[in-house]
Amino acid sequence: MSATLTEAPKVEDLVTIEVDGRPLQARKGAMLIDVTDAEGIYIPRFCYHKKLSVAANCRMCLVEVERAPKPQPACATPVMEGMKVFTRSAKAVSGQQATMEFLLINHPLDCPICDQGGECELQDLALGYGSAVSQFTEGKRVVRDKNIGPLVQTDMTRCIHCTRCVRFGEEIAGLRELGATGRGEHVEIGTYVAQAMTSELSGNVIDLCPVGALTSKPYRYSARAWELRQSDTIAPHDCVGSNVHAHVKGQVVKRIVPRENEATNETWISDRDRFSYQGLGSPDRLLTPRIREAGQWRECDWETALNTAVAALQKSGSGLSALASPSSTCEEFFLLQRLVRGFGSQQIEHRLRQVDFSADSNEPLFPALGGSLAELERADAVIIVGGYPRHDQPLINHRVRKAALRGVPVIVIDTLAQDYNFELADRLTVAPSRLSAALGGLLRACADASGKPDPTAGQYAVDPATVEIAQRLQGCQRIHVLVGSRVHMDPQRGVLLGLLGALCALYPAQLSLLMEGANAAGAWLAGAVPHRGPAGRALATVETHPKPAASTYLLLGIEPSADCADPVAMRSALQRADCVVALTAYATPELDSLATLMLPIAAFAENEGSYLNGAGEWQAFGAAVKPPGVARAAWKVLRAIGAQCQLAGFDAVGCEEVARELHDACDTLAPMPAAYQLLPSTAEDVVGANTLERITQVPMYRVDALVRRAPALQQMPQAGDELVHVSPRTLERLGLADGARITVEVGEVKVATSVQMDAVVPDGCCLIYAATALAAGLPASVSVTLVAAGGRGD
Amino acid sequence: MQTSDSNLISAHARAVIDEWLAKYPAERKQSALLAALREVQHENHGFLTTELMDAVAAYIGLPRIAVYEVASFYSMFETKPVGHHSISVCTNISCMLRGGESMLEHVEKRLGIKVGESTPDGKFYLKLEEECLAACCGAPMMMVDHVYHENLTPEKVDEILGGLA
């Protein structure tokens, strides 16, 4: 049953049934198979799945029910008082065996070359219920395979038409891509017209498929189930912290599959979490330390590398600045900040795309949902502001979708009108410069509707749209306001959060901060921000903005151009520095030109440590495989550097010891909620006929170094593009045709590209994907100017 | 979500679809799909194209695949180009006993095509008959453009086919 919100049933709602002579208590109306599953009584099945609707089309779960004339499917038979069920009687077993015989009629005997072989539900059940000899002598049905994209491989002759994948598309992914076309013996599962699956959750059909019809394309033919070793780890891309198994052969991660955890990812994972492991085997992995001497890179041993790093850090002293990926582990953040602060510097940062730090002193202890993921489902209204959880945190979007399907209004206030896989109750799409006005207007409308004074004292105007939203929110008890990536990247972040904080205070609603990366929460708790130490300890005010130029940079797991708000400024700062020490899993051309020293570190499944997810849960994980070459877990590298620098607190023997220290520091913490203040808006109108406001989206498959190196994901549309997206009306106003060559200008910088018509973008604005070659060439800016290539230069 | 040109559907067909949509609750609009496809196929001279199915999906507001499923399931929908007039000659048990198979042979010879094919001029489509058409009392029989013709003789078949424009 997908409804996880059920409370303990009352006694009067219970019935007593008997299964195989065992008396059982069950909730009235529950399906038999749910009752027997809970009791550990096994009934075979193919089409039944606890997270999907009941289809009852495979008939494998037939059981005998007393006084019923025929065997009944356990997945579609509600329990009734006094019901007597026999799961292993002659009648039940003969029904199950007959079903199996039918299912095997058209199933090919290609188990030896089938990827599902050894972990196949059909194979397993055929062993228990199948006959050794087939009575079927006619020709078997053959179905042509479809190409449904780079992630899922089809072998449709093997399909037994359980329709789990079809139901998944409709019920979970919210995007019906697969269907059952044709009739009778000609039924085929597919997309009918050749097209790729595009859902961000599409890989889950691989797990759902009980046979080898839908298998993983990147994993295909690379290992057998029985050769794999299974290790537990945590997905490293978003604040959900999906629990996953790494399946390993030798020292190679062959695939990632979900590990069931109802509190985080349920039984699902996003395609990003599933296929990003491909980046582990990228040809540009850094295998040994490299050092630049007299402009020439050479490989060196760890001793030389560490000596060089230590010498550079000691020389820099308080001129040291550290930039860490927001998906670093808590232990890495903790040791990194200790190292930086050990040298008397406060310059440590993981918020690499943030440009406005005016709310620094008002931030909560750590940015998170402020509750569990399941609480999102129980919301009675959800407002998504400035972000696209569907791509940024797919499984948070999934929870919101579940609420929406219950009829909960979901309201989106954003600068892009992106597609949601559920109905929105309301949507306000405004240019970035109008976002504060929209939120201010909503705040005022909500204050009016609830009979409270407007916290901004009428500074913002209301309009019919905001009044309508305010009316919708009236009487709601559990409002969740999800603050997405575009708010955090906004130059007015502090203003926007001030307004949102005041809005939440009206009801009160839950302000949930959805941050970039897997461990922004852990970064804050570990002290990876300039103004707070571990466990939220406030530090003496430091000059954080503008940052003082550092003489030495320590980079942890980042690609400067792709991961920072201002790639141009970042590169220039690194170029001017005396020394850049990069702890990196990849030897990129960019680091070749900017770094002085590259230290190879473990990535994803090679690493150990812990993440703090958006629900505030610590999730520790061990290494599933050894890092390649002489690469080491980053916490060990940091420990070695710290110890060699004679700094205190770098003597932890195991990773858990680092964590324990951090846990101890966090154990006795008082709650520290966000205290955002209302700030005056400084948004300015953009001037210039060809000048457009700039909107950013980090493409789902370009969020970090690992996923950028997963070839299968890079073939997906969610990997973004190198184009400037403009609304049809604005294109017309600019006199540009869709696809026209243009030059994008930001100040003195000019980059050539093309325009792409995109109705998602509001008029007068353009969307440029972050972490692309195009974005890497442009300085941070609120606007860009488009000039037709070879044309007008006004 | 999916952009498709529902303009492919004529004003008349839209009116017919709207009429059917009005019969069902808003959340059950899929119920109008059969009628919509029937009308659109009729206006397109007897078959559906992917573009037309996409247009119906866009007009009613259904996922495209839901339309493909229905169109490919029912034998009265053609999803590949076929001749204008649809002819099904019954060869099921009663008709077979009464000469249905020779009627089929006669039609095949007259039109110069095999069952399942259309004439090159696009005028006739000799449809693969799926099941008994439930007119055993008048066997042998055939259905031409949804009209039943019973107690067939070769002459009668010629007359019926000859009378089609």
Q: Do the Cβ atoms of A518 and A237 come closer than 8 Å?
A: yes
Q: Do the Cβ atoms of A649 and A642 come closer than 8 Å?
A: yes
Residues in a beta bridge with A257? A245
What pLDDT, in 10s, does the model give residues B134-145?
Answer: 999 999 999 998
Query: Cis peptide before A508, with omega less than 30 degrees from 0?
Result: yes
Tell me: pLDDT of A150 over 80. Answer: yes
CA separation for the pair A615, A521 (Å, rounded): 9
CA separation for the pair A539, A719 (Å, rounded): 39
Contacts of A180 in chain B (CB under 8 A): 69
Cβ atoms within 10 Å of A109's Cβ, excluding its own? 9
Q: Which DSSP string corresponds to A62-83?
A: EEEETT-SS-EEGGG-B--TT-
- Residue at token pair 């069920």: A85
Mean pLDDT across chain A: 94
> Interior CA angle at A49 toward A158 and A624, to 5°?
80
Contact: A179, B50; criterion CB under 8 Å = no
pLDDT band at A791 (very low <50, low <70, confident <90, very high): low
> Hey, where are the domains in chain B?
3-73, 85-162
Any B CB within 8 A of A192 CB:
yes
CA separation for the pair A518, A707 (Å, rounded): 13
Q: Which of residues 405-434 of A touch B (CB under 8 A)?
A: 419
What pLDDT, in 10s, does the model give residues B68-113?
Answer: 999 999 988 999 999 999 999 999 999 999 999 999 999 999 999 9
Cβ atoms within 10 Å of A61's Cβ, excluding its own? 28
Q: Do the Cβ atoms of B142 and B103 come closer than 8 Å?
A: yes
Any B CB within 8 A of A176 CB:
yes
Contact: A178, B65; criterion CB under 8 Å = yes
Mutation target to probe the A interface, by most A beta carbons within 10 A, among B2, B33, B51, B69 is B69
**pLDDT at residue number A664:** 87
CA separation for the pair A723, A307 (Å, rounded): 44
Single out the residue of A91, A96, A87, A89 nearest to residue A17, CA to CA. A87
What pLDDT, in 10s, does the model give residues A23-72?
Answer: 999 999 999 999 999 999 999 999 999 999 999 999 999 999 999 999 99
Contact: B73, A183; criterion CB under 8 Å = yes
Cβ atoms within 10 Å of B102's Cβ, excluding its own? 15
Phi, psi (deg, nearest 5) at residue A611: -120, 150
- Record: fold of B85-162: Glutaredoxin (3.40.30)
- B68–chain A nearest CA distance, Å: 7
Tell me: pLDDT of B4 over 60. Answer: no
Query: Cis peptide before A69, with omega less than 30 degrees from 0?
Result: no
Measure the N-to-C terminal CA separation of chain B; round to a whole number of Å: 43
Which one of A182, A183, A191 has the shortest CB-CB distance to B65? Answer: A191
Contacts of A419 in chain B (CB under 8 A): 1
Which tokens go with B142?
Answer: 């055939």
CB burial of residue A220 (10 Å; 0-12, 13-18, 19+): exposed
Residues in a beta bridge with A190? A179
pLDDT band at A684 (very low <50, low <70, confident <90, very high): confident
CA separation for the pair A207, A268 (Å, rounded): 9
Contact: A179, B65; criterion CB under 8 Å = yes
Single out the residue of A152, A143, A141, A87 nearest to residue A115, CA to CA. A152
Contact: A192, B73; criterion CB under 8 Å = no
Tell me: pLDDT of B2 over 50. Answer: no
Give the chain B residue whose CA is nearest to the CA of A193: B50
Can you give the length of chain B in residues? 165
- B102–chain A nearest CA distance, Å: 28
SS3 A307: helix
Can you tell me the ipTM of this complex? 0.87
Q: Do the Cβ atoms of A293 and A723 come closer than 8 Å?
A: no
Cβ-defined contacts of A539-544 (< 8 Å, 24+): A539/A346, A542/A346, A542/A347, A544/A357, A544/A360
Cα dist. B47→A707, B43, B78, B101 in Å? 45, 9, 5, 26
Single out the residue of A196, A207, A125 nearest to residue A168, CA to CA. A207
Give the chain B residue whose CA is nearest to the CA of A176: B63
pLDDT band at A4 (very low <50, low <70, confident <90, very high): very low
Q: Which residues from B are below 8 Å from A when comparing CB atoms? A: 1, 50, 63-66, 68-69, 72-75
Q: Does domain B3-73 have CATH number 1.10.1330?
A: no
Contacts of B75 in chain A (CB under 8 A): 183
Cα dist. A472→A383, A412, A445, A771, A788 in Å? 11, 13, 11, 37, 45
Cβ atoms within 10 Å of A204's Cβ, excluding its own? 26
Tell me: pLDDT of A789 over 90. Answer: no
What pLDDT, in 10s, does the model give residues A492-504?
Answer: 999 999 999 999 9
- Residue at token pair 């060869």: B91
For the whole model, what pTM was predicted?
Answer: 0.93
Please count the CA atoms within 13 angstroms of the CA of A316 that sit on its side-chain side: 31
A317-342 in b/e burial notation, b at 16+ Cβ within 10 A? eebbbbbbbbbbbbbbbbbbbbbbbb
Give the chain A residue whose CA is nearest to the CA of B50: A193
CA separation for the pair A57, A73 (Å, rounded): 9
**pLDDT at residue number B124:** 94
Q: Do the Cβ atoms of A474 and A718 come closer than 8 Å?
A: no
**pLDDT at residue number A153:** 96
Single out the residue of A145, A144, A142, A146 nearest to residue A195, CA to CA. A146
Cβ atoms within 10 Å of A403's Cβ, excluding its own? 22
How large is the average pLDDT for residues A135-142? Answer: 90
Q: Do the Cβ atoms of A398 and A240 come closer than 8 Å?
A: no
Q: Do the Cβ atoms of A330 and A608 come closer than 8 Å?
A: no
Give the chain B residue whose CA is nearest to the CA of A177: B65
Amino acid present at A687: V
Contact: A419, B1; criterion CB under 8 Å = yes
**pLDDT at residue number A470:** 96
Contact: B65, A176; criterion CB under 8 Å = yes
Label the pairing between strands B124-126 and A348-349.
Answer: unpaired
- Residue at token pair 């008994």: B132
**pLDDT at residue number B131:** 79
Phi, psi (deg, nearest 5) at residue A64: -90, 130
